[in-house]
Chain A
């Protein structure tokens, strides 16, 4: 059964949808969409690194995504919201640009640098579109193992830290008074995000990874009345988008990754409309 490329594509995209759902909720709650972009864009630099050093692409991507996440987190500070807050002064008193400007510089700088570096790696001419948009139908058995293993680790990590992450997301000092270090919880999210980028790269590509994180979570919001319900709804909506997107892509012969994201966007529009009709939400 695993010999069928479509079956492998379905299994891989379901794993990514499940792993992205709880993480995506935190990306939405903490306004980390730009942060997700920066981490994902750093992946293309990881591809260049992997090609130059002849190491596994997943490993190269994991390393650069992690380095980017840690670097940006260190500069932006341990505050809960990475995407919010204007220009200001850090703890040492140095003036810094607004967090979103900084993330924009990192994000697009990493993407451009990665594209340049990939072109400079000697060897045959490479088609970069697979890395930019993903190639969901080229997922092999070994890729499937990496995706399910990595996805399971990400889900386990987020589940383990769930209450601490929620507390740190609500209020940093409130968390600290309760014995939760907000900086450490931010680190957990950075590691999980880098892991997701590494396992999802082959499927959806660097340009659409953030979409897989935030669109199902945002679509789940009007239907949910608790953080847990939102994570489960996001997982369900992500799976529906993946299966629906693959079916549409197969029928219309369109690129699979963008089609999945397009279906997720459609679901988002539907739940927003539904949220107007059902003010209190469905799931508790």
Chain B
């Protein structure tokens, strides 16, 4: 149906680990007459952990949606490996009050996995299925923000994903909560060996296990490895105790400035909405 987004045919024949799971070449996305993303080259390899940071409106979620195939690129291409198993944790999932749905039922969508698999997935994210603190029978709408994020993560893990895509999963959490969530993602990723593509709401503090951090602002501003600050006392006091090395600092190395706050690299004619 989508002629631009094609599964990469040669991926299955190439040696395992060599071909990227998802890649984009010269990807541009136009939203509302405005260039939301321009000329993005991106690839994520099996097992790799990539964190995307950027200010509000920089196109982080747009990039994720384009990689998922939910947005059509205006130019460029997105390749996903054929039959790629994606575990997706959306930024926000607003369950309409008109739909009655329990956690257990949600874990069974779209494919039925069974109550035992569901309980196991909940245990992996630190939630009990049954018993006094059990969540399996609770309506989705009754969960707290932290519980909801864990349930979303449990559901994403149930499909044994090759790549886990998380869109600002720690947004509503405080720093110890975010650190705990990142540790959980790290543990699960270690167990499954899947790649992780994470969008972070924080420009400077990222998951320390990240192999690569991409700074996005309509285009890729810079990328590199984060600095692990676990052993630096000054940072340890800043991030608080008990984050257990889950957080790391990302130092931006921009070779340009964003003084006017709008996308640079485009001249004024390009930045104007086209009519």
Which positions in A face B, CB cutoff 8 Å?
Answer: 28-29, 31, 81, 88-89, 91, 93, 163-164, 166-167, 169-181, 218, 221, 224-227, 229-230, 281
Q: How far is the CB of A276 from chain B (nearest CB, A)?
A: 15
Which residues on A sit within 8 Å (CB–CB) of B176? none
In the complex, what's the smallest C-beta–C-beta distance from B68 to chain A, in angstroms? 5
Seed contacts A173-B90, A177-B88; 5 additional CB < 8 Å A-B pairs: A81-B96, A93-B273, A170-B109, A171-B93, A227-B101
B150 → A minimal CB distance (Å):
16
Partner of A167, one of B86, B110, B273: B110
Chain A contacts of B99 at CB under 8 A?
Answer: 29, 169-170, 227, 230
Decide: B33 and A93 in contact? CB cutoff 8 A: yes
* A225-B110 contact, Cβ under 8 Å, with A93-B34, A178-B88: no
Residues of chain B contacted by A28 (CB below 8 angstroms): 98
Residue interface mask B143-176, A partner, CB < 8 A = 1 = 0000000000000000100000100000000000
The answer to whether A226 and B102 have CB atoms under 8 Å apart is yes
Contacts of B165 in A (CB 8 A): 177
CB distance from A194 to the nearest CB of B (A): 21
Q: A89-B31, A93-B31, A163-B109 are in contact. Are A174 and B98 (CB under 8 A)?
A: no
- A178/B100 contact (C-beta < 8 A), A91-B71, A91-B72 known: no
Cross-chain pairs A/B with CB under 8 angstroms, 22 sampled? A88-B32, A93-B30, A93-B33, A93-B274, A163-B109, A163-B112, A164-B110, A170-B99, A170-B101, A170-B109, A171-B93, A173-B68, A173-B70, A177-B165, A178-B111, A180-B110, A218-B98, A221-B98, A226-B100, A227-B100, A227-B101, A229-B100
Given contacts A93-B31, A227-B100, contact A172 B109 (CB under 8 A): no
Residues of chain B within 8 A of A175, CB atoms compared? 110
Which of A163, A178, A179, A225 is B139 in contact with, Cβ under 8 Å?
A: A225
B32 near A166 with CB under 8 A, answer: no
B224 within 8 A of A: no
Residues of B in contact with A, size category: 35 or more
Does B95 have its Cβ within 8 Å of any Cβ on chain A? yes
- Check B32–A93 contact: CB distance below 8 A: yes
Smallest CB–CB gap between A271 and chain B, Å? 13
Q: Which residues of A contact B219 (CB under 8 A)?
A: none
B residues with a Cβ closer than 8 A to A are 1, 30-34, 65, 68-72, 86-88, 90, 93, 95-96, 98-102, 105-106, 108-112, 139, 159, 165, 273-274
Contact A176 B69 (CB under 8 A): yes
Q: Is the CB of B109 within 8 A of A89?
A: no
Contact B101 A178 (CB under 8 A): no
Q: Closest approach, in angstroms, between the C-beta of B106 and any C-beta of chain A? A: 8
Check B33 against A177 for contact (C-beta < 8 Å). no
Neighbouring B residues of A167 by C-beta, 8 Å: 109-110
Q: A166-B109, A166-B110 are in contact. Are A172 and B70 (CB under 8 A)?
A: yes
* Among A28, A31, A169, A174, residue most surrounded by chain B Cβ atoms (within 10 Å): A174
- Per CB-CB distance, the 3 closest pairs between chain A and chain B, nearest first, are A177-B88, A93-B33, A89-B32
Kindly state the separation between the CA atoms of A120 and B68 in the bound complex, as whole angstroms: 51
Residues from chain A with Cβ under 8 Å of B110 in the complex: 163-164, 166-167, 175, 178-180
Residue of A with least CB distance to B89: A174
Known: A89-B31, A91-B71, A93-B273. A174 touches B88 (CB 8 A): yes
Say whether B1 contacts A181, CB under 8 Å. Answer: yes
Distance, CA A181 to CA B101, complexed state (A): 21
CA distance A176 to B110 in the complex (A): 11
B88 nearest in chain A by CB position: A177
| A166 neighbours in B (Cβ, 8 Å) | 101, 109-110
Q: Which of B32, B87, B106 has the most CB of A within 10 A?
A: B32
